[in-house]
Amino acid sequence: MRRSPADRSGRATSGRAPRPRAEQPEQLGFAGMPERLFVCTPSKLGSYADCPRRYRYSYVDRPAPPKGPPWAHNSLGASVHTALKNWYALPADRRRPEALAALLKGTWVRDGYRDDEQERAAFRRALSWLEAYVETLDPAVEPVGVERTVAAKTAVLALNGRADRIDSRPGPDGPELVIVDYKTGRTGLDADDARGSQALALYAYAAERVFRRPCRRVELHHLPTGTVAAHEHTPESLARQVGRAEETARDIMAAERAVADGAEPDEAFPTLPSTRCGWCDYRRICPDGAQVPGREPWAAMEHAPDPTARN
């Protein structure tokens, strides 16, 4: 029998009681009738897997609890992603490195930096990453999707998510889709990161169904180092990742049902303290997070990488 997250950790609790969300999954109670699908993104599932309490703060408690201040590394990641999106929105003959400074400046996110000097240095760094990166791209090649939302249903999940880019590349039996995810964190990535990423696998699973074309290859493009970490999935490895995602969804639905049935929300959504706590948006209101020294919003610009960064 599956154990609830509360059983697994038995971590500290706090007093904030969640109000079940409007789309609370519910068992319909008639034999043979399906349960409602769990509507989710890969990042929603990842949030619960990282820490059930953080999931609750983000997705269940209403009104939503206050978050900490914005992070500079998230601003940097968002700015780079938007610049690349807008680069692809240009006509192919204008997709040149010289266009990037204006694109980056136009949608630059300023939040979280220590001061103007640090922000200017980050801008210069981001621009140099982008200029080097677009040199590796053929401007005439149109991706199948840029920041494209893909969606799919399984027996348990109604999945949707936005892939940074979906390429079409030649395969042995015709064109195949490739999921591309941009990364701007400080540490490089390897094939194990690409293989283990549930988000990339779920994007591949959904893209294959949306476009009715094989999508097995997933790639992490790390802009600071100009490296690509790739993995070729098989139908079996994608099915395994989907199975794990369904298991997480069942855990979440069980926790939500337990709260609806009167269980203590703090027990249904236990804390899962880790090195991530210092970077957690809810550290200040979380009983375990409050024990951990917090990071300055700009810390990832100068010290250790943020292990929670998904940009």
Q: Which residues bind ligand SF4 (CB under 6 A)?
A: 51, 53-54, 271-273, 276-277, 280, 282-283, 286, 288-289
Q: At what angle do helices 116-134 and 72-89 cross, to 10 degrees?
A: 40
* Identity of the residue, 56 or 165, whose beta carbon is nearer to ligand SF4 in the bound complex: 56
The CB-nearest residue to ligand SF4 is 289
Cis peptide before 63 (omega within 30 of 0): yes
Which CB sits closer to ligand SF4, 113 or 282? 282
Q: Give the Cα separation of 40 and 52 in Å (integer).
A: 15
**Least spacing, CB of residue 285 vs ligand SF4, in Å:** 8
Bridge partners for 29 per DSSP:
none
Radius of gyration of the chain from its Cα atoms, rounded to whole angstroms = 21
Q: Which is nearer to ligand SF4, 56 or 183 (CB)?
A: 56
How far, in Å, are 54, 120, 186, 220, 273 from residue 304 at the CA level?
A: 22, 20, 8, 20, 18
Q: How far is the CB of 240 from ligand SF4 (least distance, A)?
A: 26
User: Least distance in Å: CB of 222 to ligand SF4?
Assistant: 25
Taking the least distance from each CB to ligand SF4, the nearer of 92 and 304 is 304
Cβ atoms 186, 225 nearer than 8 A: no
Q: How far is the CB of 274 from ligand SF4 (least distance, A)?
A: 7
Beta bridge partners of 148: 163
Smallest gap from residue 73 Cβ to ligand SF4 (A): 17
Smaller CB distance to ligand SF4: residue 248 or 271?
Answer: 271
CA separation for the pair 278, 296 (Å, rounded): 9
